Structure formats: structure tokens, C-alpha cells
Amino acid sequence: MNVVTTIKQVREQVKVWRQAGYSIGLVPTMGFLHEGHQSLMAAAKKDNQKVIVTIFVNPIQFGPSEDLDSYPRDLERDKVACEQMGVDLIFHPTASEMYMPNFSSYVDVNNLTDALCGKRRPGHFKGVCTVVTKLFNITQPDRAYFGQKDAQQLAVIKRMVSDLNFDIDIIGCPIVREADGLAKSSRNSYLSESERKAAVCLYQAIECAKEMIKQGEKSVTVIKKAMDDVISNQPLAKIDYIEFVDLASLASINMLAKDSLCALAVYIGKTRLIDNFIYQQQ
Ligand code: AMP
């Protein structure tokens, strides 16, 4: 496995692979890798002859009061996680390699970014779309892998790829969870022992909603109220949002419909966690 830090090095490697006719799968990450990331690598490995993982804590997708400086980093551990999965190349650039001092071009997807996390984190998806576009241009993949864990991100990237005619297949991968149901996340490392226990309330709220839906409940107000109750029962938790939206447009819905997404963001102490589930009527 090769670990490189410059765009030039990636381009040289990709050129060789392209000339040999190899297919390339890309897994963009911010590092501090866990089994969720590794599931993306496994999917990429299955579909492609070469797999590139990028590890870059992208400064332009963090708001001024967010956790850019404290975001967990451990390259040596990440190398082991990638090696285990048979990754061929890690691209681990510095911020200055990615953003020259006169950097001034951004990619911004409208509408889909108005709701959910986009509404609470202004500029976040502009930062995500810009860095993902750059990573696409640098690595020239056939396929790129994103987690359903970040449901809005996946929807926004798919829209961007379609709108801007990137010749890249975007593959969504299921959420990988801890044994108690908490979605795996690099940010889980911020949680104290008591917060970690409390964090399971996101999953409990999802399970509660799924059970109500199974019993035939369709009213978003009723389901949201029950989810709110589950989370509010947990003193360390503070709801940022619980939203039901149409899966394609991410527009808010009042009644559960054919393809709906329920997404939630909850603060556990100072740590903001997200989770979601998709309801697809058979
Ligand atoms: P991040 O490093 O948090 O930016 O995540 C990199 C990629 O891994 C994104 O496409 C995430 O959606 C995905 N990912 C993160 N956590 C999980 C998880 N628990 N299950 C599946 N995919 C995940």
C-alpha cells in the first residue's frame, strides 16, 4: 500500500493504473477510520481493481464554531485499517496542498442543501461538494463510495454528479452500527462513558419510529413526538432536529409516503451525532 501526500503523486499512480486498464474505486474520508469506513473499502475492493482512500479533514466544510481543530486524527492507525482491507493507495494531503492561497472556486448544490444538516450548518455542503469534486478530478475514479450514515451528503453528491455530468458511479453503503445500535462515527470518540451510554437514544428513537410505522402509523407529527419523547428521556441529550423528508427531494413531509427519509441530529453533551433510516413502502 502506497501512502502519498501530493496531487502529483496521485496523478502519476492513477495514470499508470489507467494505462494498465484497471478500474478505480474511491473512498473519501476524514480519517480516524472505523468499521463504517472499512465497509466502504470492502465494497470498493469488490467492484474495482484498485482502491484509493483519501484521508483529509477538509477545513472548508467546518463552520467557525465547529470541531475542525479537535477532530480526531491518527494516521498510523488509519494505515493499518486500510492495509487490512487491501487498499492500494492512501492520499493524505495537507490543507495547503488542496487549497492554494488564492483558491476561489466552489461547487454549491442548491435546494437539497436547504434542509436537515444543510440548514443548521451553513456552507457545510458547499465545502463537501468542493472537496469531493477536487478528489474526483485528482483520482479519476470509476466508482465512489459514500455511507448512508450521511444521508443528505449522499443525496447531494448524487445530485452533483448527475447535474455536472461526472462519469462516476456513486455507491451508497448501509450504516454500520455498534452492538447496541449506535451508528459508528469518528466523533463517538468525543463521548465520555456516560455520554456513550446516553448516545444509544438516537437508535432507540429510530427503533421506536420503525415499530410505530410497522403498526400502521403514518402521521409524521405523531411519530416525531414519540421519537422526541425517547430522546428527551435522556438528560444528556439535546435534539437539534428530527425531520421526515421525501427521499429524492429532501422536502419536508407530513405523512409517511412511498420513499421517505427520517433523519435526526442530537447533541450528546457537546458532541453532535446524526443518524437516519429510510422508509420504503413495498
Ligand atoms: P467521514 O470520515 O465521517 O467523513 O466519513 C467518510 C465516509 O464514511 C462517508 O461517506 C460516511 O457516510 C461514511 N461513514 C461514516 N460512518 C459510517 C457508518 N457508521 N456506516 C457506514 N458508512 C459510514
- Contact of 76 with 67, CB cutoff 8 Å: no
Q: Is 29 in the pocket of ligand 1 (CB under 6 A)?
A: yes
Q: Binning pLDDT at 50, 70 and 90, where does residue 281 land?
A: confident
In a domain, 133, yes or no: yes
Show the domain range for 159: 2-173
- Per residue in 191-207, pLDDT tens? 999 999 999 999 999 99
Instruction: Say whether both 195 and 143 belong to one domain.
Output: no
Query: Ligand 1: which atom is nearest the Cα of residue 149?
Result: 12
Number of domains in the chain: 2
Residue that terminates a domain, selected from 142, 173, 204: 173
Residue 216 CA to ligand 1 center (angstroms) comes to: 31
Q: Of 92, 132, 136, which Cα lies nearest the Cα of 3? A: 92
Instruction: Say whether both 169 and 212 belong to one domain.
Output: no
- Check whether 252 has a pLDDT greater than 70: yes
In a domain, 127, yes or no: yes
Q: What is the pTM of this model?
A: 0.98
Instruction: Say whether both 19 and 147 belong to one domain.
Output: yes
- CATH code, 221: 3.30.1300.10
Instruction: Say whether both 133 and 265 belong to one domain.
Output: no
Q: Of 54, 74, 78, 57, which Cα lies nearest the Cα of 135? A: 54
* Residue 231 neighbours by CB distance under 10 Å: 20
Instruction: Say whether both 31 and 57 belong to one domain.
Output: yes
- Per residue in 104-160, pLDDT tens? 999 999 999 999 999 999 999 999 999 999 999 999 999 999 999 999 999 999 999
Instruction: Say whether both 93 and 195 belong to one domain.
Output: no
Rounded CA-CA distance 108/32 in Å is: 27
Residue 224 CA to ligand 1 center (angstroms) comes to: 25
What is the rounded end-to-end Cα distance, in angstroms, of the chain? Answer: 43
